[in-house]
């Protein structure tokens, strides 16, 4: 009897050892594994296929958890430099940046298994390397609860949107406040992937699609790459996903113009570089946002995510040489950004909707609209009866902000927190060896208004998330003037691959610039003031010397009741017209634009 039991136990252990189902598959997709169980499964795969899989740490979260990438390479080559030298494209997939949206993590675990264990997808490694981050927001991943995402249908427990300090990492790509972001940027530039994917789950409307995705292809994307995306990538992904029973894909992010009336069509989708895929534009790399539909069951979502990744890897293998060449050409174009500063070359800083729409065959659900006695506004009740209709999609691009780039920028050394962000982005910089005075282009800025409510730990000068009172970016006027910079100031040349990152951070009008995020707030603070009795005397002296100023003041009093009724404003009128106010340099942007480097004492 004891021998029989031992044989049964041995047989059971052998069966278990051959069971390569992922933890979510074992639970029939009722659950997703926690951090420890996720990494245990991935290490088991790596141990079983050490010649093809390697797990590498790339950083640590705020709470101290290890951040890892999983690398799948058919020939056991895990050195990114050697991989690039072999002209095999690298696909990097980021999962769980919003850790309640972990579908991509479970899809990547299954896809990895099928590449290296069951071998059913082994061909996906023929010409490409698959790299993925299982849990980027690992701290949020472990803040598990069934109540974290009210909009989402499973699994039983899910992670939290913010990291350990409640920052949304998918608003942090440009400003790089979080330790996770700093670690990811370092890893990204070590691997420099050829295609980037960010896996998410939607909020928003209800509709038939389980898989939606978007790949930026606007005028700020290298045009041959945009053409390849539109002609050779998007159609294949839709076709491949739709060919699998139970799945339906849309090659766009589904967002309604009016949440209470789907018939009004779909809105324009824009990804500034605070978002991962918007940041990829600055890195000269194609980036795909995958959004699984929140109300589909977890099995449908995970397997749908699997299918879109499988299709993408098929396309990348097919077009491996073309993708590598496109990225090399995009990098070469970026390196010429500052080559002709006087040619009025314009580089797009941001894009928006140009007012055009195109018909889009939308696979939605029929719905009713009624006035809510709860909210007092119209609300939508969706059925699950198909509603297949042509809707207008707002999809035409226009450049909303651009600049003629200089040869380089010069940043005074004291603005160290601004310089530090550029260093985190691996931007090439040099230091001046001595103090330097010279003519630069710079900006005088004013009329800024900051967000009333915090947004990602700051009060930026732009519209925040829904519900936040938006800021207002005033104006920045370009002027040429002589400025003095101390020794150790930073020169940031634009003849580099990351030229668009530099422009996106240092041009005030860029949507996620240092100025917009509040890194230069101090320049708008007036530090010296005039006492009323001193300015009273000054005002009389100024009017006696300048009759035009006296006339301007009197007309302002006559025509502006608010000004006339405000004693401080009346006195400040004269102070602001005096040389004492000019010495405050309120609104003077300290970063200079250099049209040449001749005479600037730069370290060799």
Instruction: Give the model confidence (pLDDT) of 412-427 as tens digits.
Output: 999 999 999 999 999 9
Percent over 70 (pLDDT), the chain:
96
- Closest residue by Cα to residue 174 from 472, 485, 506, 445: 506
For the beta carbon of residue 417, count every other beta carbon within 10 angstroms: 10
Domain ranges of the chain: 2-335, 347-399, 400-525+587-594, 532-584
DSSP label at 343? Answer: T
Helix (H, G, I), strand (E, B) or coil at 360: strand
Name residues whose C-beta falls within 8 Å of residue 443's C-beta, 6 or more positions apart in sequence: 476, 477, 478, 479, 508, 588, 589
Cα of 460 vs its chain's centroid, Å: 16
Q: How confident is the model at residue 12 (pLDDT cuts 50, 70, 90)?
A: very low
Task: Tell me the pLDDT tens digit for each residue of 184-211.
Answer: 999 999 999 999 999 999 999 999 999 9
Quickly tell me which residue has 């006695």 as its tokens.
373
Q: Looking at the DSSP assignment, which residues form a beta bridge with residue 473?
A: none
Q: Tell me how far apart the alpha carbons of residues 196 and 317 are, in angstroms, rounded to a whole number.
A: 15
pLDDT for the residue 466: 58
Give the count of alpha carbons within 13 A of 278, CB side only. Answer: 21
pLDDT, mean over the chain? 94
Residue 3: the pLDDT is 39
Strand 249-250 relative to strand 287-292, pairing = unpaired
Per residue in 551-583, pLDDT tens?
999 999 999 999 999 999 999 999 999 999 888
Confidence of residue 600 (pLDDT cuts 50, 70, 90): very high
Q: What is the pLDDT of residue 2?
A: 43
Q: Kindly report the backbone phi and psi dihedral angles of residue 543, in degrees, each rounded to the nearest multiple of 5, phi listed first.
A: -70, -35
Residue 341, pLDDT > 90, answer no
For 274-331, write each residue's pLDDT tens digit: 999 999 999 999 999 999 999 999 999 999 999 999 999 999 999 999 999 999 999 9
Whole-number Å distance between alpha carbons of 330 and 146 = 44
CA distance 87 to 84: 5
Classify residue 410 as exposed, middle or buried by CB count within 10 Å of its CB (0-12, 13-18, 19+): buried
- Overall average pLDDT of the 328-335 stretch: 97
Q: DSSP readout, 150-209?
A: TT----SSB--SS-TTS--GGG-TTT--SHHHHHHHHHHHHH--SEEEEEEE--S--BS-
CA distance 8 to 576: 90
CA distance 140 to 163: 5
pLDDT at 462: 85
Tokens 């050394």 belong to: 413
* pLDDT at 10 > cutoff 70: no
pLDDT at 604: 80
What is the percent of the chain where pLDDT is above 90? 90
Helices (H), 336-414: none
Question: Bridge-partner residues for 195, per DSSP?
Answer: 91
pLDDT for position 6? 39
Split at pLDDT 50, 70, 90, the class of 14 is: very low
Mean pLDDT of 354-360: 95
Q: How far is CA 412 from CA 67, 388, 422, in A?
A: 34, 58, 14
**Mean per-residue pLDDT for 257-266?**
95
What mean pLDDT do residues 46-57 have?
98
CATH topology assigned to domain 2-335 = Aminopeptidase (3.40.630)
CA distance 283 to 330: 9
């Amino acid at each position: 009897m004891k021998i029989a039991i031992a044989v049964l136990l041995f047989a059971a252990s052998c069966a278990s050892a051959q069971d390569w189902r992922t933890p979510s598959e074992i639970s029939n997709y009722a659950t997703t594994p926690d951090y420890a169980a996720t990494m245990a499964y991935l290490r088991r795969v790596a141990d079983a296929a050490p010649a093809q899989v390697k797990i590498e740490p790339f950083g640590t979260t705020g709470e101290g958890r290890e951040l890892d990438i999983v690398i799948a390479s058919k020939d056991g080559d895990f050195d990114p430099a050697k991989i690039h030298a072999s002209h095999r494209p690298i696909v990097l997939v980021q999962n769980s940046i919003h850790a309640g949206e972990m579908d991509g993590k479970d899809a990547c675990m299954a896809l990895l298994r099928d590449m290296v264990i069951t071998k059913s997808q082994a061909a996906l490694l023929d010409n490409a390397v698959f790299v993925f981050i299982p849990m980027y927001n690992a701290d949020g991943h472990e803040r598990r609860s069934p109540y974290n995402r009210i909009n989402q249908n499973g699994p039983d427990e899910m992670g939290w949107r913010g990291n350990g300090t409640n920052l949304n990492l998918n608003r942090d790509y440009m400003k790089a406040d979080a330790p996770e972001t700093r670690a990811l940027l370092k890893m990204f530039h070590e691997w420099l992937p050829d295609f980037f994917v960010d896996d998410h789950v939607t909020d928003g409307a209800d509709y038939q699609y389980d898989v939606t995705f978007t790949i930026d292809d606007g005028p700020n994307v290298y045009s041959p790459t945009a053409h390849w995306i539109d002609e050779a990538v998007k159609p294949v992904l839709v076709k491949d996903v739709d060919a699998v029973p139970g799945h339906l894909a849309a090659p766009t992010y589904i967002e309604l113009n009016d949440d209470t009336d789907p018939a009004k069509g779909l809105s324009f989708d824009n990804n500034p570089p605070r978002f991962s895929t918007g940041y990829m534009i600055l890195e000269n790399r194609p980036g795909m946002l995958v959004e699984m539909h929140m109300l589909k069951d977890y099995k449908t979502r995970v397997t749908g995510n699997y299918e879109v990744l499988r299709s993408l890897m098929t396309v990348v293998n097919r077009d491996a040489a073309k993708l590598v060449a496109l990225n090399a050409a995009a990098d070469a174009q970026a390196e010429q950004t500052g080559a002709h500063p006087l040619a009025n070359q314009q580089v797009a800083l941001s894009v928006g909707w140009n007012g055009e729409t195109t018909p889009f065959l939308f696979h939605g659900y029929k719905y009713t609209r009624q006035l809510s006695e709860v909210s007092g506004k119209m609300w939508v009740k969706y059925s699950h009866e198909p509603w297949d209709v042509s809707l207008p999609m707002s999809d035409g691009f226009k450049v909303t902000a651009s600049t003629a780039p200089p040869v380089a920028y010069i940043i005074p050394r004291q603005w160290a927190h601004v310089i530090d962000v550029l260093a985190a982005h691996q931007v090439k910089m040099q230091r001046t060896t001595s103090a330097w005075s010279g003519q630069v282009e710079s900006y005088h800025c004013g009329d800024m208004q900051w967000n009333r409510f915090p947004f990602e730990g700051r009060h930026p000068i732009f519209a925040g998330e829904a519900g936040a009172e938006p800021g207002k970016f005033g104006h920045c006027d370009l002027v040429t003037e002589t400025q003095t910079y101390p020794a150790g100031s930073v020169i940031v040349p634009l003849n580099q691959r990351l030229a668009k990152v530099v422009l996106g951070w240092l041009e005030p009008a860029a949507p996620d610039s240092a100025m917009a995020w509040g890194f230069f707030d101090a320049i708008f603070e007036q530090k010296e003031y005039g006492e009323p009795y001193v300015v009273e005397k000054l005002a009389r002296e100024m009017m006696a010397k300048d009759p035009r100023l006296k006339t301007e003041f009197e007309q302002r009093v006559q025509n502006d009741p608010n000004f006339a009724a405000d004693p401080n404003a009346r006195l400040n009128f004269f102070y602001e017209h005096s040389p004492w106010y000019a010495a405050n340099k309120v609104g003077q942007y300290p970063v200079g634009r250099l049209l040449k480097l001749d005479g600037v004492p730069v370290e060799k």
